[in-house]
Chain A
């Protein structure tokens, strides 16, 4: 545990263990999450879900529900004819009109005096359905003659009768496709000495934020909407909500209470938010809607499940030659961000290692299953799982050890990949070497392998996997910017108003640190405001591990302007050249000697109370120097890239199939450590999330129905199960990063499953191609009873 930083002596905060600013409040139970907020006059809302998988809605009778005392409104699609579709492809009406495509589908909603009354009212709503044939897998959805999920166009009729087609029909159930190519895979294959091909299945998991989803919507007398929402993208959603309601976005204010976990789950609009808004509009009362945990399992997004076929090759000397990837994304009933994960997957395929020839193809296909959103890692866990399995297989085939084989193909600083990514800083080789060394990988890998056939039923294994992920934002929109407003009051208290939301990851603290570093102020002098679109400047949202990088640079920019202003004022007042002045420990000091001239607060007071009063108030907008990729997905999408290698050491009980994670040794190129406590926490949390993905979590979907919507049967990792964790930071000091740092939020979760799969192979000689590695799945595989995934996809 590091010693406390003595800011009074002007020590730097960078790289120190800085406690999160909001921790005391949270640990006291005083932080008001959305669930804890109650507005005067508020009503409680509940949603009636279909429960049936695929059907026509024949009739809905809400009369009994409406008659229940305490019920203020019961709405169905018929009550909101002006509703517009939501989601990434605008194929999803919040309240379903004539058809349900998933058991989670929203049929009706109630606003009542209490949640209990709303619940009771739901039970009084009578809906009759006419069942339709169910499409339960992406393969089935592609078969000729398969029932069509969105075979008709989705239109919208404006109040003036004008009709608009908002979603074109999908005649083949294909929701989205992504194709990417570099080089010539046929040539690559011809040049190969070894070729491997496998099919992988990556399963459903879900975010399981400890705070369930919720929203409070309220209209004022002028019909302005105030929304208390845990969205990760307040500014973009403001616009979407406005479109949805047909009002000017300026009339919408999004207030973000502290969030009980995000991990990507709040990156899209899901029906419950519009529904709460509809109810608030109709009742003219604040409406609060909070999920139950069961609802959270059924109706919040999942990670994108993927069936993936990978063919790769290398030369005898271990040089990679080509990769061909075909994936099928089960899109579920509607399109959310999950469908767009290929965007990230192809980066790993094309650019984690140097591969001259690549071809990548994805189809996201409509089914009656749950639909996937974005989830920490955004497709990268899936892609890395397949790529890293093949790295081990190819290494074995050419008789190289996994580390040497990877080092031979690893990216280096300065590389511009065929996809156009420019690795200005790149610590990949150090990551590989450090993780291998600290885990004693080579020795263990040989030793464990030699014990495949001895009599001990407990086997050990080590496995390694690496990852590449955006670390300097991701220009998925034409803008990837973030604004900052900074003001310093006459007691030298600084208010940092940033567009970037805090979702528990500690961005607030890191931003404050960066600003303090510029201005020589203690953290206690900073208040961060980041939760109100009427106050905060524009930002594209918390995603793509971008906040530290993008919001950090923005905050630094604002702080530097403030510094210039303070120093100029000090220079004038002290009649000294500005070059001789600096800021440290709350004072204007002489650079070099550190002699104190004047306290910043005092200086600012003198500015405020002078005859030409001036405020230290600055703004800065930072737009990273990255590119919006072209139509062929080429371009330098991020201003920096993060790298990591993780080694998993496991114990496999061959009599039960239980895989115990003993140790994860991780080496992460993070650019630079800004807050050691915070970054360790991010990495540890990410590793354990990856552990869950690999070994315990499994959202079981059968015939469109989620079978285990509770923590009882959907198992998050608990405290006794965590592995020992050894983390090394590779500090490559990225030239564009704030103080040299790169984003790290998603990275730690990405490699774990891939590394565990390789470790299981090293322990047992059995390779698993399908997640998760639950005891029964592993046991079946060990007994030769598993059905490996197969590619039965109509082309």
Chain B
């Protein structure tokens, strides 16, 4: 039978301790152990990005990460993101620009978008398209998602400048 591991990490700014089975994925830990259901399961093999979270400042598919491997790291999920100023900018932009339809892929794309804003290598449309190439959306055709991130880039810029 699978062993358990005691791990400790910062989750959305809060020190967190959990005991997880060694084979558990971070996605399962977030959803089933920590009740953070904003991170979605949609494929479980890294193809769709619905489970995107940020670990030590970079986004990853939480379905591909062993929960045990969260030990000592800093995690940000959609729940933490929307409580931050960047998250607010993104949420407002996503709503205003019509980026959300069924909404199932949205938290993952919000997470990827915050990564884009953090890395901020220019906000050319083509770069933004590539930046979200790991996030599938079946409803929107991506146009309005790209609009939203582009607008958030500009907003984030002006706010930084101010």
Which residues of A are at the interface with B, using a C-beta cutoff of 8 A? 1, 17, 19-20, 22-24, 26-33, 35-36, 207-212, 258-263, 292-293, 503-506, 677-678, 680-681, 684-689, 710-712, 716, 718-720, 722, 725
Given contacts A19-B95, A20-B98, contact A210 B42 (CB under 8 A): yes
Chain A-chain B contacts (Cβ-Cβ < 8 Å), number? 177
Please state if B103 and A720 are interface contacts (CB–CB under 8 Å).
Answer: no
Q: Which 10 A-B residue pairs are closest in the complex by CB-CB distance?
A: A29-B38, A26-B103, A504-B102, A688-B141, A260-B104, A29-B78, A711-B47, A684-B141, A23-B95, A36-B37
Is there a chain A Cβ closer than 8 Å to B100's Cβ? Answer: yes
B50: min CB distance to chain A, Å: 6
Q: Is the pair A718, B106 in contact by a Cβ cutoff of 8 Å?
A: no
CA distance A20 to B130 in the complex (A): 26
Q: B98–A261 contact, CB under 8 A?
A: no
Instruction: Check if A685 sits within 8 Å of B101, measured CB to CB.
Output: yes
Known pairs A292-B44, A680-B144, A689-B138; A211 contacts B104 (CB<8 A)? yes
Residues of A with C-beta under 8 A to B96: 1, 19
A504 touching B103 in the complex, CB below 8 Å, given contacts A210-B42, A716-B136, A716-B138: yes
> What are the residues of chain A within 8 A of B90 when measuring CB–CB?
27
Q: In the docked arrangement, what's the CA distance between A260 and B136, Å?
A: 13
Q: Given A689-B141, A719-B142, A720-B129, do A711 and B136 touch, yes or no (CB 8 Å)?
A: yes
A208 touching B126 by the CB < 8 A rule? no
Which of B45, B101, B129 contacts A681 (CB under 8 A)? B101
- Known interface pairs A26-B103, A29-B106; 7 further A-B residue pairs with C-beta atoms within 8 A, sorted by A's residue number: A24-B92, A33-B104, A504-B103, A505-B101, A681-B143, A720-B126, A725-B143
Interface centre among B37, B82, B92 (most CB of A within 10 A): B37
Residues of A within 8 A of B135 (CB): 719
Instruction: Tell me the complex Cα distance, A331–B56, Å.
Output: 51
Indicate which residue in A30, A35, A207, A504 contacts B101 across the interface (CB closer than 8 Å): A504
With A680-B144, A711-B43 in contact, is A720–B133 under 8 Å at CB? Answer: yes
Query: For A711, what are the chain B residues with a Cβ–Cβ distance below 8 Å?
Result: 43, 45, 47-48, 136
Contacts of A689 in B (CB 8 A): 138, 141
- Residues in A with CB closer than 8 Å to B42 are 210-212, 260, 293
Chain A neighbourhood of B68, CB < 8 A: none
User: A18 to chain B: closest CB distance in Å?
Assistant: 9
Judge whether B132 and A719 touch: CB under 8 Å: yes
The answer to whether B132 touches A23, judged by C-beta atoms less than 8 angstroms apart, is no
Q: Any chain A CB within 8 A of the CB of B105?
A: yes
Nearest Cβ on chain A to B101's Cβ, whole angstroms: 4
B39 an interface residue at 8 Å Cβ cutoff?
Answer: yes
Report how far A259 CA is from B132 CA in the complex, Å.
23
Chain B residues whose CB sits within 8 angstroms of the CB of A207 once the complex forms: 138
The yes or no answer to B155 lying at the interface (CB within 8 A) is: no
Report if A686-B129 is in contact (Cβ < 8 Å); known contacts: A260-B102, A677-B98, A712-B47. no
The total of chain B residues at the interface (CB under 8 A) is: 54
Q: Is the CB of A26 within 8 A of B98?
A: no
Contact A725:B133 (CB < 8 A) given known A28-B82, A29-B37: no
Known contacts A685-B141, A688-B142, A719-B145; A27 and B133 CB within 8 A of each other: no
Contact across chains for B141 and A28 when beta carbons are under 8 A apart: no
Shortest A150–chain B CB gap in Å is: 33
Complex Cα distance, B141 from A719, in Å, reads 8
Decide if B143 touches A27 in the complex (CB within 8 Å).
no
Given A28-B82, A30-B38, A210-B48, the answer on whether A681 and B98 have CB atoms closer than 8 Å is yes
Contact between chains at B141 and A722 (CB < 8 Å)? yes
A265 to chain B, nearest CB (A): 11
With A28-B78, A259-B102 already in contact, the answer to whether A687 and B141 are too (CB < 8 A) is yes
19 contacts between A and B (CB under 8 A): A20-B101, A23-B99, A29-B38, A29-B78, A29-B106, A35-B40, A36-B37, A207-B138, A208-B136, A209-B104, A210-B42, A211-B104, A259-B102, A261-B138, A503-B102, A504-B101, A684-B143, A719-B129, A720-B129
Contacts of B23-73 to chain A: CB distance below 8 A: 31, 37-45, 47-48, 50
Cβ–Cβ < 8 Å partners of A506 in chain B: 101
Question: Which residues of A are found within 8 Å of B48, using beta-carbon distances?
Answer: 210, 711
The reply on B137 being an interface residue by CB < 8 A is yes
Closest to A712 in B: B47
A35 to B146: give the CA distance in the assembly, Å: 27
Instruction: Report A-chain residues with C-beta under 8 Å of the C-beta of B128.
Output: 719
A453 shortest CB reach to chain B, Å? 32
CA gap between A128 and B100 in the complex, in Å: 47
Given A33-B104, A210-B136, residue A23 in contact with residue B94 (CB < 8 A): yes
Bound complex: CA A662 to CA B79 (Å): 37
In the assembled complex, the CB of A600 is this many whole angstroms from the nearest CB of chain B, namely: 27
Closest A residue to B47 by beta carbon equals: A711
Known interface pairs A293-B44, A722-B143; A32-B37 also in contact (CB < 8 Å): yes
**What residue in chain B is nearest A677 (Cβ atoms)?**
B98
Given A710-B43, A719-B135: A684 and B140 interface contact (C-beta under 8 Å): yes
| Residues on B with beta carbons closer than 8 Å to the beta carbon of A1 | 96-97
* Chain B 123-162: CB-based contact to A (< 8 A → 1; otherwise 0): 0001011101111111111111110000000000000000
Report the minimum CB–CB distance from A747 to chain B (whole Å).
14
B103 near A22 with CB under 8 A, answer yes
With both beta carbons as reference points, the residue of chain B lying nearest to A727 in the complex is identified as B143
B43, B91, B136: most-surrounded residue (chain A CB, <10 A): B43
Q: Does B110 contact A (CB under 8 A)?
A: yes
- Check B95–A722 contact: CB distance below 8 A: no
Query: Which B residue's beta carbon lies closest to that of A258?
Result: B103
Residues of the A chain whose Cβ atoms lie less than 8 Å from the Cβ of B110: 27, 29
A211 contact set on B, CB distance < 8 A: 40, 42, 102, 104
CB pair A209–B138 under 8 Å, yes or no, is: yes
In this complex, the member of A20, A29, A504 whose beta carbon has the largest number of chain B beta carbons within 10 angstroms is A29
> Which chain A residue has the least Cβ–Cβ distance from B139?
A685
Contact A20 B95 (CB under 8 A): yes
B50 with A27: CB separation less than 8 A: no
Name the residue of chain B whose CB is nearest to the CB of A692.
B138
List of B residues within 8 angstroms of A677 by Cβ: 97-98, 144
- How close is A2's CB to chain B, nearest CB, in angstroms? 10
A24 to B133, CA, bound (A): 23
A720 CB contacts on chain B under 8 angstroms:
126, 129-130, 133
Question: In the assembly, what is the distance between CA of A350 and CA of B98, in Å?
Answer: 37
Q: How far is the CB of A348 from chain B (nearest CB, A)?
A: 23
Interface centre among A19, A28, A718 (most CB of B within 10 A): A28
Q: Are B37 and A722 in contact (CB under 8 A)?
A: no
> A210: which of B38, B104, B142 is its contact (CB, 8 Å)?
B104
CB distance from A504 to the nearest CB of B (A): 3
In angstroms, Cα B95 to Cα A636, docked, is 39
Please give me the residue from chain B that is nearest to A679 by CB atom.
B98
Contact of B94 among A27, A36, A718, A722 (CB under 8 A): A27
Give chain A residues whose Cβ lies under 8 Å from the Cβ of B146.
719
- Bound state CA distance, A437 and B12, in angstroms? 52
- B105 to chain A: which residues have CB within 8 Å? 210
In the complex, chain A residues whose CB is within 8 Å of the CB of B38 = 28-30
Whole-angstrom distance between the Cβ of A94 and the nearest chain B Cβ = 25
Which residue of chain B has the shortest Cβ distance to A502 in the bound complex?
Answer: B102
With A210-B136, A712-B45 as contacts: A24 and B95 at CB distance below 8 Å: yes
Across the interface, which residues of B come within 8 angstroms of A29, CB to CB?
37-39, 77-79, 82, 106-107, 110
